[in-house]
Amino acid sequence: MGNIIKFEDIKKKKSLTDDEIKSLFFGLVKLIKTSAIDDVSQKIKEDYKKNSIILNNTILELKVKNEIIEDLKKENELLKSKTNKLEKKIEDLKKNNYNISKF
């Protein structure tokens, strides 16, 4: 058979020593601090993800709006060109009409 080792009966302590109380207290403080840091870290990560989504959506909206603005600028240039041509035609017609009425 194997060797059997007998341990002496350990008497239960009736009260904690000051060092044990301090150790337990500082352990509790450390646990609370770690828990608070973890909570804040989790909140920051959630806020970061949320803000990243908002930022990406805003960038996409700005891209679409910039494309619309560019299209409107091109359309505006075309309209300006047409307006200038029409104004020139009106001037030419006025001159021709003036020349005709002169006779």
- What pLDDT, in 10s, does the model give residues 13-47? 568 889 999 999 999 999 999 999 999 999 999 99
Q: What pLDDT was estimated at residue 3? A: 65
What are 68's two structure tokens?
A: 């619309």
The pTM score is 0.55
Asked whether residue 17 is domain-assigned, the answer is no
Query: How many structural domains compose the chain?
Result: 1
Give domain status of residue 54, yes or no.
yes
Residue 7 lies in a domain: no
Residue 13 counted as domain residue: no
Is 2 inside any structural domain?
no
Q: pLDDT at position 9, please?
A: 44
DSSP output for 31-49: HHHHHHHHHHHHHHHHHHH
| Domain presence at residue 5 | no
Residue 84 lies in a domain: yes
Indicate the average pLDDT of the chain. 88
Domain span including residue 79: 24-103
Distance between CA atoms of residues 81 and 73, nearest Å = 12
49: in domain: yes
Give the single-character DSSP code of 95: H
What pLDDT is stored for residue 16 in this prediction? 81
Separation of alpha carbons 24 and 68, rounded Å: 66
